Amino acid sequence: MITEDRMAYRAALPDGGRLLGLDVGTKTIGTALCDAGWSFASPAELIRRTKFSKDKAALVTLIAAQAVKGLVIGLPLNLDGSDSPRTQSTRAFARNLIDLGLPIMLWDERWSTQAVERQMIAEDLSRAKRAERVDKIAASYILQGAIDALTTA
């Protein structure tokens, strides 16, 4: 199941469980995990993209190690809410993960990277440290937004 509807996603996971958030880029995949009760999200690994089969294998390893029950993938919409070529690529990436048997929610990530960049600049992190961490922290920001929406009625 792939959905953008938070209520449908929530219904697919009636017992909760750990979620894996993904910020899918062309060079890296930032990952984040949340607790089983959907309270807080934390940055996890940064996967350097190579071939899709290797990217997927890295995700499968992380999913198994962390007992993940569902995926939240950041959806890079245009500012007006329309799809872009990057959006279509992300949708295709999600479709290629459907055989994992986990529910997948696509979550609007329009402002995630900018918000994370501003936060890291405010924390006075160097450009090199920001570049190294931005995708993992953006994945955490995306996942936190999703679990906040999932836990409010």
* Ordered per-residue pLDDT tens for the chain, 153 residues: 999 999 999 999 988 899 999 999 888 899 999 999 999 999 998 999 999 999 999 999 999 999 999 999 999 877 787 888 888 999 999 999 999 999 999 998 866 666 666 665 666 666 666 566 666 778 888 898 899 888 885
Please state whether beta strands 68-75 and 18-24 pair in parallel, antiparallel, or not at all (unpaired).
Answer: parallel
Q: What's the rounded Cα separation, in Å, for the pair 135 and 120?
A: 12
The structure's pTM equals 0.83
Q: What's the rounded Cα separation, in Å, for the pair 114 and 98?
A: 29
Phi-psi category of 144—alpha, beta or left, where left has phi over 0 and alpha has psi -120 to 50? Answer: alpha
Strand order of the β-sheet with 41-48 is 2-3, 104-108, 68-75, 18-24, 28-34, 41-48
